[in-house]
Amino acid sequence: MTARTAKGQRTRRRIVERAAPVFNTRGYAGSSMSDLVRASGLKKGGLYNHFSGKEELALEAFDHAAALMRERFGSAMEGRDGTLDRLFAVVDAFGSLVEDPPVAGGCPVLNTAVESDDANPVLKERAREAMEVWLRLIGCLVKEGVASGELQPDADPRRTASVVVAALEGALMLSKLHDDPAHMRRTIDHVKEHLGSLTAAGGGGA
Amino acid sequence: MTARTAKGQRTRRRIVERAAPVFNTRGYAGSSMSDLVRASGLKKGGLYNHFSGKEELALEAFDHAAALMRERFGSAMEGRDGTLDRLFAVVDAFGSLVEDPPVAGGCPVLNTAVESDDANPVLKERAREAMEVWLRLIGCLVKEGVASGELQPDADPRRTASVVVAALEGALMLSKLHDDPAHMRRTIDHVKEHLGSLTAAGGGGA
Residue B49 lies in a domain: no
pLDDT in tens, A109-134: 999 999 999 999 999 999 999 999 99
Q: Which of B73, B112, B74 is nearest to B95 (CA)?
A: B73
The CATH number of whichever domain residue B185 belongs to comes to 1.10.357.10
Query: Is A162 in contact with B186 (Cβ distance < 8 A)?
Result: yes
Show which of residues 163-202 on chain B sit within 8 Å of chain A, judged by CB atoms. 163, 165-171, 173-174, 176-178, 182-183, 186-187, 189-190, 193-194
Residue in chain A nearest B25 by alpha carbon? A118
Residue A42 has pLDDT above 80, yes or no: yes
Query: Is B159 in contact with A131 (Cβ distance < 8 A)?
Result: no
For residue A205, the model assigns a pLDDT of 46
Show which of residues 117-146 on chain B sit within 8 Å of chain A, judged by CB atoms. 117-119, 124, 127-128, 131-132, 135
Instruction: Give residues with Cβ within 8 angstroms of A138, minimum separation 6.
Output: A87, A90, A157, A160, A161, A164, A165
Residue A202 lies in a domain: no
DSSP per-residue codes, chain A: --HHHHHHHHHHHHHHHHHHHHHHHH-TTT--HHHHHHHHTS-HHHHHHH-SSHHHHHHHHHHHHHHHHHHHHHHHHTT--SHHHHHHHHHHHHHTTTT--SSTTS-HHHHHHHHHTTT-HHHHHHHHHHHHHHHHHHHHHHHHHHHHTSB-TT--HHHHHHHHHHHHHHHHHHHHHTT-THHHHHHHHHHHHHHHHTBTTT----
Residue B94 lies in a domain: yes
Query: What's the CA angle centered on A147, arms A77 and A164, to 5 degrees?
Result: 50
> Cα separations (Å) of A122 from A104, A125, A195, B102?
23, 5, 34, 26
Q: Is the dihedral of CA A206, B183, B170, B192 positive or negative?
A: negative
Residue B93 lies in a domain: yes
Mean pLDDT, range A70-88, rounded to an integer? 95
Query: Is B194 in contact with A194 (Cβ distance < 8 A)?
Result: yes
Residue B1: strand, helix, or coil: coil
- What ipTM does this complex have? 0.95
Could you tell me the residue range of the domain that residue A168 belongs to?
Answer: 3-197
For residue B140, the model assigns a pLDDT of 97
According to DSSP, residue B2 is labeled -
pTM of the model: 0.95
Residue A203 lies in a domain: no
Between A and B, how many residue pairs show a Cβ–Cβ distance under 8 A?
158
According to DSSP, residue B53 is labeled S
For residue A1, the model assigns a pLDDT of 56
Residue A135 lies in a domain: yes
Residue A188 has pLDDT above 60, yes or no: yes
Tally of domains within chain B: 1
Residue B112 lies in a domain: yes
Query: Is A159 in contact with B189 (Cβ distance < 8 A)?
Result: yes
Residue B12: strand, helix, or coil: helix
Of the candidates B119, B127, B189, the beta carbon closest to that of A177 is on B127
Residue type, A10: R
Residue B34 lies in a domain: no
pLDDT 10s per residue in chain B (206 long)?
566 688 889 999 999 999 999 999 999 999 999 999 999 999 888 899 999 999 999 999 999 999 999 999 999 999 999 999 999 999 999 999 999 999 999 999 999 999 999 999 999 999 999 999 999 999 999 999 999 999 999 999 999 999 999 999 999 999 999 999 999 999 999 999 999 999 988 765 44
